[in-house]
Structure 1
Amino acid sequence: METKPVITFLKTLLIVYSFVFWITGAILLAVGVWGKFMIGPYISLIAENTTNAPYVLIGTGTVIIVFGLFGCFATCRGSPWMLKLYVMFLSLVFLAELVAGISGFVFRHEIKGTFLRTYTDAVLNYDAEDEKSLAVDNVQSSLRCCGVNNYTSWLGSVYYPANGFPLSCCSNSSDCSPQDLRNTTINHTKVYQQGCYELVTSFLETNMAIIAGVTFGIAFSQLIGMLLACCLSRIITANQYEMV
């Protein structure tokens, strides 16, 4: 009888935690989708060291939403084996989120050297049609930049001799025609003067740090749920033995 208030208290805490856990699943899912669509075009230029962190977050978030409901159900039922299963699941989620967080953190620091090499290659071999060329256009138009360190990076590309600068380099689309971009006398005045390298690496480092930080924070919150579920399972089991 004396354990009933404790069991009720732990159940209440675990139900609240499971609800918060469900919300974190929705947050991870949203961050994963955001990372895929916002950072994806930039990551596609770094084929040598791409990261699966957004996909891990999407998958983990989806599964958390399902098992968050399971946690509430297991707590309400007060089933020791369900609670143990819930603890095992929280342990797996903790490891998955830890891997995703470390992946994002490590990738954030490795990106500069890789991006410089692969982005330079994408500019030099630009043809305005393949996936990397389209990614280059996306980067230049969205970040308002041109070339790697500056617009002169395009002078050595296979595209420049016949076409000049690509349209994505235009600083003013209403006053920038393909003819202007081919005219070597004035084309450099029609394009963005700043290169994309520093802008892209700064953008990626900042956003990968956000993803890693959110993931680490949510991962370590799983420890609280694991502790509550373990305690509740043991107390319920001990109480059942006492009743027998």
Structure 2
Amino acid sequence: MGKINGCIKCLFIFFNVLFAIIGCGLIYGAVKTTAYSSQFSAVGGPNLAWSWVFAIGVLGISSLGIYAGCSENYLALKIFAGFMAVGMIIMLIFGIVVVVMRNKMKDAFHSTSSEAVQPYMADNELREMLDEIQQSIHCCGLVSAQDWGSTIPQSCECQSSGGNQTHGGSVVTGCKSRPQGTTGPSQIYKQTCSDFIFVWFNIIYQLFMGFCFTFAVTALLGLLISILMIHQVKRYDRAGRPTIAMKGY
């Protein structure tokens, strides 16, 4: 018979194996998103380098939990409980930071001028990405058509000057003439892409917030279970100590 209740031990190990798999998935996701780290940070997104720290931390702590549960090691369980307490606090802090960054990014999207966008528009990858967005959701420019400089791309071309219409699943909000002194389509979309892009980033931020607060709650549960397991190991060790007979003099 082990030191820890069998059901609690199996449940503890199961969830740590599950989070170890999640950690591996996070590492894979970090590898895939590293290439877009600079573009994401440029528009107010969080630094994706932290995703590596978080992914490796989840995998490492889960591995420690698996070892602690299987070995019923008192010290390993205490270390795991300490990581759970620290992790819960960190996840709460990260969740609050993500909320603040989301609000800052929202203000940046609504206050950014075309002049401020120009350094980012010099990046060919960002230009290509914006061009693809314009083709799919029917908008023009990040904050205005002048973001493209003197040459407006063909993806800004608007086919109708009437009111709102639905085209390809996107709402077209009407057309306007291209800015004077520029070349390209004579009619371009009135709607800029910043509102659409913010909707996407807002979804990402909401996922981050849900992710952080979910992990905070999970860390709290892990802390409580590990404390219970530590108590059971300590009680078993005390019960197993030999009784020393007192000598009478």
Q: How far, CA to CA, are the matches of 1:7 and 1:210 in structure 2?
A: 36
**Comparing 201-210 and 16-25, the one that deviates more:** 16-25
User: How much has 1:100 moved relative to structure 2?
Assistant: 2.6
SS in 2 for 1:51: coil
Could you say which residue in structure 2 is the equivalent of 1:138? 129
Higher strand proportion (structure 1 or 2): 2
SS in 1 for 2:60: helix
**Comparing 82-91 and 142-151, the one that deviates more:** 142-151
Could you say which residue in structure 2 is the equivalent of 1:18? 16
Q: How far, CA to CA, are the matches of 2:224 and 2:14 in structure 1?
A: 14
Could you say which residue in structure 2 is the equivalent of 1:85? 79
SS in 2 for 1:194: coil
- Residue identity over aligned pairs, in percent, reads 20
Deviation track 1:105-164 (CA, whole Å, cap 9, x = no partner) reads 2222222221233463344x3696x34x7535523432442124553xx1xx6932xxx3
SS in 2 for 1:187: coil
Normalised by the length of structure 1, the TM-score is 0.72
Q: Is the 8 A contact 1:91 1:226 kept in 2?
A: yes
Equivalent position amino acid for 1:22 in 2: A
Could you say which residue in structure 2 is the equivalent of 1:216? 213
Q: How far, CA to CA, are the matches of 1:143 and 1:23 in structure 2?
A: 37
Deviation track 1:46-103 (CA, whole Å, cap 9, x = no partner) reads 4xxx523x33333112221122122111111111111000111122222332233222
Equivalent position amino acid for 1:106 in 2: V
Could you say which residue in structure 1 is the equivalent of 2:173? none
- 1:51 and 2:46 equivalent? yes
- 1:41 and 2:39 equivalent? yes
Could you say which residue in structure 2 is the equivalent of 1:201? 198
Q: How far, CA to CA, are the matches of 2:225 and 2:148 in structure 1?
A: 62
- 1:227 and 2:224 equivalent? yes
Unaligned runs of 5+ in 2: 160-177, 242-249
Structure showing greater Rg: 2
Q: Residue 95 and residue 37 in structure 1: after superposition, are their counterparts in 2 closer, same or farther (change >3 A)? A: farther
Q: Is the 8 A contact 1:149 1:197 kept in 2?
A: yes
Higher helix proportion (structure 1 or 2): 1
Q: Residue 217 and residue 35 in structure 1: after superposition, are their counterparts in 2 closer, same or farther (change >3 A)? A: farther
Could you say which residue in structure 2 is the equivalent of 1:165? 152
Q: How far, CA to CA, are the matches of 2:105 and 2:40 in structure 1?
A: 11
Equivalent position amino acid for 1:19 in 2: V
CA-atom RMSD, angstroms?
A: 3.5
User: How much has 1:236 moved relative to structure 2?
Assistant: 0.7
SS in 2 for 1:96: helix
Could you say which residue in structure 2 is the equivalent of 1:175? none
Deviation track 1:219-238 (CA, whole Å, cap 9, x = no partner) reads 21111111111111121112
Q: Which has the higher contact order (CA 8 A, sep 6+)?
A: 1
- Count matched residues: 220
**Comparing 7-16 and 111-120, the one that deviates more:** 111-120
Could you say which residue in structure 1 is the equivalent of 2:54? 60
Q: Is the 8 A contact 1:18 1:68 kept in 2?
A: yes
Q: How far, CA to CA, are the matches of 1:127 and 1:223 in structure 2?
A: 42
Equivalent position amino acid for 2:233 in 1: I
User: How much has 1:195 moved relative to structure 2?
Assistant: 0.8
Equivalent position amino acid for 2:46 in 1: T
Could you say which residue in structure 2 is the equivalent of 1:176? none
Unaligned runs of 5+ in 1: 173-179
